[in-house]
Amino acid sequence: MNKNKDVGEEQSAALMADVARLAGVAISTVSRALANPGRVNEKTRTRINAAAKQLGYTPNAMARGLRVGKSNTIMIILPGSPYYGASQIIPQVLQSINKSLIQEGYNLMIANLDREEASERHILNLAFGGTVRGVIIFSSKLPEVDGRSPAGAGLPIVSMLFDMSNAGVPSVVTNDREAIRDATTELIRLGHRRFLYIAGPRGNYHDVERYAGVLEALGAGGLSEDALSISGGDLEYQHGFETGIRAVDDFTKLDVRPTAVIATSDDMAISFMSRIQHAGFAVPGDLSIVSFDGSPVCEFCSPPLSTIKQPVEEMGRAAVDLLLGAIDQRQEAAKVRTVIPSKLILRESIGSAKS
């Protein structure tokens, strides 16, 4: 008998045997279902998951044993499809992360999180089954099914573009609030006193931060919240072109129209600017527009769109450094919150307010 064998591993093996008995399968089938779910048929996998849930089995020790020295795969969990309109923030982030991982001898696995139980359960099986060595989660909360989340798998986790530092998860974010506050301050300096804010999904981390930044700038400029009209803010349209198109209707219905528009994504601003000009408004003659993301296409809009550029490459590298530092134990305690500033790029879509 190996006296150095971890007691937790012995307990984990015993519990796995209990799961196998309850599910009516071999222990090897349980192990395979947890490590490589795709190799076990759905009916059997469902039976095993039900037995594990009933017995309260969480294979932390097994996952740890499988991972150490064997997996060189990092999983990034995306909030949805990799394609996000013209902004292309996610592909830029993926490119930065993948490049940094390859340089360190790791591979990237992409998991799309659509908030359906089957999808989340599969991601959790990968996390607990020893398939991956660490997790980067992008702009979203950790998935959780039956009380399990990647945080319980003993894996190093880094959150990107979503601050989970209060929960102890190292997070790499940009300064949403300060960046949009500075952009709004610039508009106030140019004489603008009435604004339209095109909001992202209600309660979304980024929208909360950006809206707060706009309000801070208004307060510092001696303006009240009455100076701000709001469009958007629902989950259905999120940060896309549709929200910008609908904002044009909201804008034209206002009795006192704003002279400046602040959009929380480039996609919103691009569609809004196109439609508002077709409606007979001049940009920036009648209306100044600024947005958030910094996608390359903004430079080629008509007129070129002012935008707050997110430092996606720098954030990708920082997330990888934090994660690999935790994996390799290169640091005793990771910095819980890393903030990398965004940059306001002023272009022709912004001008002085009409007198």
Supply the pLDDT for residue 307: 97
Residue 348 included in any domain: no
* 162 and 221 part of one domain: no
pLDDT band of 127, cuts 50, 70, 90: confident
For 131: left if phi > 0, alpha if psi spans -120 to 50, otherwise beta; the answer is alpha
Q: Which of 23-37, 73-87, 195-209 has the highest mean predicted lDDT (pLDDT)?
A: 195-209
* 168 and 315 part of one domain: yes
Residue 85 included in any domain: yes
Residue 9 included in any domain: yes
Report the range of poorest mean pLDDT among 43-47, 169-173, 184-188.
Answer: 43-47
Residue 66 included in any domain: no
Residue 63 included in any domain: no
Supply the pLDDT for residue 10: 47
Judge whether residue 255 has pLDDT over 50. Answer: yes
User: Tens digit of pLDDT for each residue in 32-44?
Assistant: 776 666 677 888 8
Please tell me which residue, 200 or 348, carries the higher pLDDT value: 348
* 294 and 181 part of one domain: yes
Residue 203 included in any domain: yes
Residue 102 tokens read as 């390859």
Supply the pLDDT for residue 212: 96
Report the range of poorest mean pLDDT among 63-67, 97-101, 132-136, 202-206.
Answer: 63-67
* 152 and 206 part of one domain: no
Judge whether residue 130 has pLDDT over 50. Answer: yes
Report the amino acid identity of residue 16. Answer: M
* 316 and 305 part of one domain: no
* 130 and 206 part of one domain: no
pLDDT band of 122, cuts 50, 70, 90: confident
Outline where 226-305 has alpha helix (H): 241-253, 266-278
Supply the pLDDT for residue 80: 64
* 201 and 241 part of one domain: yes
Supply the pLDDT for residue 4: 44
Q: What is the pTM of this model?
A: 0.75
* 323 and 301 part of one domain: no
For the residues 237-244, what does the mean pLDDT come to? 76
Q: How many domains does the chain have?
A: 3
The alpha carbon torsion through 160, 164, 167, 169 (nearest 10 deg) reads 10
Report the amino acid identity of residue 21. Answer: R
Instruction: Give the domain range for residue 35.
Output: 1-57
Supply the pLDDT for residue 69: 43
Which domain CATH number covers 316?
3.40.50.2300
Supply the pLDDT for residue 6: 45
Average confidence score pLDDT of the chain: 83
Contact 182, 247 (CB under 8 A): no
Cα 217 from Cα 225, distance rounded (Å): 10
* 162 and 222 part of one domain: no
Supply the pLDDT for residue 236: 52
Residue 211 included in any domain: yes
User: Tens digit of pLDDT for each residue in 100-117?
Assistant: 999 888 889 887 766 566
* 183 and 138 part of one domain: no
Supply the pLDDT for residue 223: 97
Residue 354 included in any domain: no
Residue 218 tokens read as 């208004």
Supply the pLDDT for residue 82: 53
For the residues 129-148, what does the mean pLDDT come to? 81
